[in-house]
Structure 1
Amino acid sequence: MPYENLEISTRSPVLSWANHPLKSDEIKMAKNVASLPFVFKHVALMPDVHLGKGALVGSVIATKEAIIPAAVGVDIGCFVGDTLIPLMDGKSYPIKELADRSEKFIVYACSSSGRIVATYATAKLTRKNAALVKVILDNGEEIICTPDHQFMLRDGSYEEAQNLQAETSLMPFYSKVDKDGYTLIAQPYSGRWQKAHWIIARSGLLGGKVEKFEGQKTVIHHRNFNESDNRPENLEFMGNCDHSAYHRNLVERNQHWQSPEFEEKRVAALAKKAQRTEGYQYYAERGTKNILQYMQQQPEHFKQAVADNGIRGKQYLLAYNQSEKGKAKSKEIANRYYTCEICGVEVKTPIGLHNHRRKEHQCNHKIVAVLTLNYTEDVYCLTVPEYHNFALKAGVFVHNCGMMAIKTPFKGEQLEGKLKKIRLDIEAAIPTGFNENKEVEKTVTNWQRWSDFKDLHRGVQDLQNKAMRQMGSLGGGNHFIEVCLDTENSVWLMLHSGSRNIGNQLAQCHISTAKELAKMAGNSLPDPDLAYFIAGTPEFQAYWHDLQWSQDYARVNRDVMMARFKRIVEKHLAGGKAIKPLLEVNCHHNYAEKEVHFGENVYVTRKGAVRAQEEDYGIIPGSMGAKSYIVKGKGNAHSFCSCSHGAGRLLSRKKAKNTYTLDDLIEQTMGVECRKDTGVLDEIPGAYKSIEQVMENQSDLVEVEATLKQVLCVKG
């Protein structure tokens, strides 16, 4: 259904995707927002639109140089096509080329503890004609991406590209090839180099645990003898003795390798290699190693062999050092430059190189500058389940696009007889409503952005302990945890939650500040909840900082819950064995972003709406007893590339409780394992709009990728 241009007299038009006339109080709220002078183009109303605070829930508001805290609420990027992504075959590929592939591939990702791992990913086109910035690094690399794409900082937190400052330290990705042809990766948590094939093994991509061989040391054999090709299918665990025997057997079977002709060519090739700088260095290192081994294994023989070396060589060394040639050589050595293998900088003397490494490379990269570009391009991103970040060839880690329903490899029949046990386990493991965790798990305490808590609004400074205990909890109202089945009987895990009490309190603090400023300035507003901040002011900057923190908190909160949720389902359906999701989707609503629409930079507020740019994945859930949808955005410009975040309420919570009975709830949630008591009566399916009708109304905004029906629902 195309949008309707509402016939109301306002400064900016109001476009509606709802299939029904708005009520008088809804019309008034829409008019209030559309009358503000900084609203850009028009206000877009999604099919699930209904009354909210300040602005309608289900409204999308683009603004110029201002933002309305009450319209945002408290819930809650991409690269040009030639951006290079390093893969496990030892090569780097343009991200656009990866997006053209249909299969998964393996990338490097970084855990929250700073350990680099290997994991599967997919690539996709995410936006067309996107605004761009150029991020310049201190290693000379330049990264062109959207302004909102998040870069991983050295402490494990994330910051949007447009907000990166000069000298900001990023999580680094250093790789090199050693003299034997093996790919080495520098681990940020330790600063030590690790062979890439062992990263593959330790990430569980070679069938789980590392194999053991009695009486032997475990090694990894490259089947095609290409030491840089670390694809799992090219790697094999072997005992070191078996590995050596295998190579000797190959040599013995190949008579050409033993022939005089081959030996003559081999010796000539070695001599030629020794004449090159890298070859000379290689043989010097190998010779040193052999001599040291000889000294340790045959010390007496070595002493006899070198007994008179000092006496015989002293006179020649003194004469050489005093000669013009010797003096020139000493001067040349003293002024010789050495290349830092990490950043490529030329540093004078070995001691200088050592000091340079210690000072500049405690495994780090720094920002030189971020420049706004005056052109647009199509951009791409990766989906990286579990770790949600990936390495660029340029040498840093970046966040992948958001995702929070997961498709599992399980089938519906595996759930038979287990739903009630799964629900009880979920309710025991994940606090709901006003409840919080009794103990704070390590994943929560390790979140890097707790260090920023002191910089949040002074009104929440006594809430850090509560915020930590609530991370990994569901909340109440329309928040939920669900097990669903799609039309192919595949099991999906889905949840909806936000930034809990800390996000709400931060919002209230800033809303109060905005109202105080409006009162002091004598601003006449149609509704006090439309008080706003002007871009560039300290109040705007403080609010924007706290909003980003709240949205990060909401994301991690969902991650912690989903990890627990997934482990519970794995316990019942796979005996506790971890499974790899087939698809992950995580979308935010009630949030604001800087975006480009109709060729201009604006702040887009989605209050109860989801971003639906072209190829964006999103979730549009129904109610407790209705269908839900996994969708892809169509990038409709008139909706500011947005869609609804659900069905939308038809009745207020109070009216729903007065209208329906417990028997109605039992009937409307038939076939769903869930609470069936008066405590969740306000969430009865009848209190919500028809999700089928809502989806029909936004067929020009999204296309359906999967249709889900819940079989289990946990509410606060």
Structure 2
Amino acid sequence: MGHSLRTKDLSKIGYTNDKARSLAINIFNKHFKYHTKSEQLETLSSLRERPEDFLEDDVLGKLAEVLTGKTKEIQFKVHSLMEEPAPLKMYGGKEIEAIAKRQIELASLLPVSVAAALMPDAHMGYGLPIGGVLATKNAVIPYAVGMDIGCRMSLSIINASDTYLKRYSFQIKEAIKKCTHFGMEGGLDFRQEHEVLDDPLFRAMPLLKQLHGKAVRQLGSSGSGNHFVEFGEIELFDNNTLGLVAGKYSAILSHSGSRGLGANIAKHYTNIAMNTCKLPRQAQQLAWLDMDSEAGQEYWNCMNLAGDYAKACHDQIHSNLVKELGLEVLFKVENHHNFAWKDQWNNNDVIIHRKGATPAHKGELGIIPGSMTAPAYLVRGLGSGSSIFSASHGAGRAMSRQSAKDNMTVSAMKKVLSAAGVSLIGGSVEENPTAYKDIEKVMTAQKELVDIEGKFKPMIVRMNKE
């Protein structure tokens, strides 16, 4: 916990204006309480030296206005929706709720939209539905990427037979408690190091500078909600493209994103997008940033850094576990499913947003999980143009978190887990298996999008207890 700032601390670094000092103390004691005093003073010094750089900052903008004597100018453009939608393809539509369909239909009417698709695991989200894919022309939509930028899957196939999990279940459970961390705050008990923390963007951008301390603390952690780290058995099928002999192996599977770093980037640039790109009320959450604008370029750079950070978190989790248990990784497969990429579609340069969707270009490997008792599938993309080279990112929720709590007791969930042969560490009834769609139906609905190369069965599951 950082120390509370005092007026004399601010005076020492050149803050002489009473209003600025009072505002700084209020802001920093509220928003920077987990930073050390030296981190707080370093940010305040940067702000005093270059207040104009902070005018757009959600938290520090008001203080920057006092120091510069000017308010931030917001220039916005008003846009109408198109009468004709961009091409839109839905998969497994019978199982998808009407509101998710309406959301993707609305997205297809944006003047920047080139093509849209809805995956069979889709359900309602903010802006773009979860399971929504949208290709745009020279525009990036923060809410079409999502709040958890770079949320992703990572699978390590390890040099242990499928019987390893039963023989060493106690050691695995101890390692999974020691080498992972779940929950909104905090991190691992031992120091984590990764080159992503040295990225020069952390020093170059005020927003990222103030998030660096949190990124250091949260490296290698998983967060909450539907994020997990699992040990299980994977069966690789004949003719898999991994170069491994068909058969059963032990494996580690993880699902999480960019933690507080990505969430803060998403919030900051969503606000800028909504303030500068005015759309009809029902579509306002789909506000975009022009890729040629300063804010568009900043978001793009921050989004990519958040994606690298999410990958680093998974890398730490897997390497910590492998080291702790004395294992060796034979093959690793990983993919983002909340991200945007520069790509080509129908010979046009586009930005492809996948919010809860797995990239599935021809030959591209990915992982599509089910639930804590249902299998995850190792897949290879078939490069379907009508799905904008995408597939589902999981089974998809069949119930809201509240409904899941209302429809399942803890003791009933224990019976379901026991019947499936799954040991759960943490976890909540909000994530119980019945809260999700049938992964087999979802996979059937996307046969033309991916081929299945392997099937992962969860056995030891670690999640956040809420």
Bucket of the pairwise TM-score, normalised by the shorter protein? 0.7 to 0.9
* Kept in 1: contact 2:141–2:286 (CA 8 A): yes
Aligned residue number for residue 175 of structure 2: 425
Q: Distance in 2 between matches of 1:712 and 1:442?
A: 24
Q: Note the C-alpha offset of 1:459.
A: 4.1
Matched, 1:453 2:212: no
Equivalent of 2:316 in 560, 571, 596: 560
Matched, 1:25 2:88: no
Aligned residue number for residue 51 of structure 1: 124
Aligned residue number for residue 134 of structure 1: none
- Quick one: percent identity of the two aligned structures? 31
**More displaced, 625-634 or 433-442?**
433-442
* Kept in 2: contact 1:631–1:703 (CA 8 A): yes
Alignment of 1:210-225 (within 5 A): none
Residue identity matched to 2:443: M
- Residues 647 and 704 (structure 1), Cα distance of their counterparts in 2 relative to 1, 3 Å cut: same
Matched, 1:472 2:231: no
Q: Distance in 2 between matches of 1:403 and 1:687?
A: 20
Aligned residue number for residue 257 of structure 2: 498
Aligned residue number for residue 485 of structure 1: 233
SS in 1 for 2:395: coil
* Kept in 2: contact 1:19–1:47 (CA 8 A): yes
Larger Rg over CA atoms: 1
Q: Distance in 2 between matches of 1:604 and 1:561?
A: 28
Q: Distance in 2 between matches of 1:438 and 1:552?
A: 19
Alignment of 1:2-81 (within 5 A): 11-20=85-94, 22-40=96-114, 42-73=115-146, 74-76=148-150
Aligned residue number for residue 285 of structure 2: 529
Q: Distance in 2 between matches of 1:642 and 1:489?
A: 27
1:368-408 Cα offsets, whole Å, 9 max, x none, are xxxxxxxxxxxxxxxxxxxxxxxxxxxxxxxxxx9821111
Residue identity matched to 1:68: I
* Kept in 2: contact 1:75–1:503 (CA 8 A): yes
Q: Distance in 2 between matches of 1:10 and 1:667?
A: 51
Aligned residue number for residue 18 of structure 2: none
Equivalent of 1:680 in 422, 428, 433: 428
Alignment of 1:247-396 (within 5 A): none
Matched, 1:700 2:448: yes
Aligned residue number for residue 241 of structure 2: none
Residue identity matched to 1:675: I
Q: Note the C-alpha offset of 1:691.
A: 0.6
Q: Distance in 2 between matches of 1:663 and 1:567?
A: 35
Matched, 1:540 2:289: no
Structure 1: stretches of 5+ with no match in the other structure: 1-8, 77-401
Q: Note the C-alpha offset of 1:513.
A: 0.7
Q: Distance in 1 between matches of 2:332 and 2:255?
A: 14
Matched, 1:514 2:273: yes
Q: Distance in 1 between matches of 2:424 and 2:98?
A: 36
Equivalent of 1:462 in 194, 210, 214: 210
**More displaced, 462-471 or 612-621?**
462-471
Residue identity matched to 2:130: V
SS in 2 for 1:613: coil
Q: Note the C-alpha offset of 1:24.
A: 3.4
Q: Note the C-alpha offset of 1:627.
A: 0.6
Q: Distance in 2 between matches of 1:12 and 1:438?
A: 46
* Kept in 1: contact 2:357–2:390 (CA 8 A): yes
Aligned residue number for residue 350 of structure 2: 602
TM-score normalized by the length of structure 1: 0.49
Aligned residue number for residue 634 of structure 1: 382
Matched, 1:551 2:307: yes
Matched, 1:404 2:160: no
Q: Distance in 2 between matches of 1:442 and 1:652?
A: 35
SS in 2 for 1:526: helix
Residue identity matched to 1:465: G
* Kept in 1: contact 2:291–2:297 (CA 8 A): yes
Q: Could you list the runs of 4 or more consecutive aligned residues of structure 1 that deviate by over 4 angstroms after TM superposition?
A: none
1:459-480 Cα offsets, whole Å, 9 max, x none, are 4532211110101101111111
Query: Aligned pair count?
Result: 367
* Kept in 2: contact 1:403–1:584 (CA 8 A): no
TM-score normalized by the length of structure 2: 0.75
* Kept in 2: contact 1:15–1:45 (CA 8 A): yes
SS in 1 for 2:352: strand
Q: Distance in 2 between matches of 1:695 and 1:584?
A: 22
Aligned residue number for residue 613 of structure 1: 361
1:115-147 Cα offsets, whole Å, 9 max, x none, are xxxxxxxxxxxxxxxxxxxxxxxxxxxxxxxxx
* Kept in 2: contact 1:483–1:712 (CA 8 A): yes
- Residues 449 and 638 (structure 1), Cα distance of their counterparts in 2 relative to 1, 3 Å cut: farther
SS in 2 for 1:657: helix
Q: Note the C-alpha offset of 1:438.
A: 5.4
Q: Note the C-alpha offset of 1:66.
A: 1.1
Q: Note the C-alpha offset of 1:18.
A: 1.8
Q: Note the C-alpha offset of 1:34.
A: 1.3
* Kept in 2: contact 1:435–1:473 (CA 8 A): no
Q: Distance in 2 between matches of 1:428 and 1:60?
A: 37
Q: Note the C-alpha offset of 1:528.
A: 2.2
Q: Distance in 1 between matches of 2:189 and 2:199?
A: 17
Structure 2: stretches of 5+ with no match in the other structure: 1-82, 236-246
* Kept in 1: contact 2:196–2:308 (CA 8 A): no
* Kept in 1: contact 2:413–2:432 (CA 8 A): yes
Q: Distance in 2 between matches of 1:421 and 1:406?
A: 18
* Kept in 1: contact 2:396–2:436 (CA 8 A): yes
Q: Distance in 1 between matches of 2:439 and 2:138?
A: 35
Q: Note the C-alpha offset of 1:44.
A: 0.5
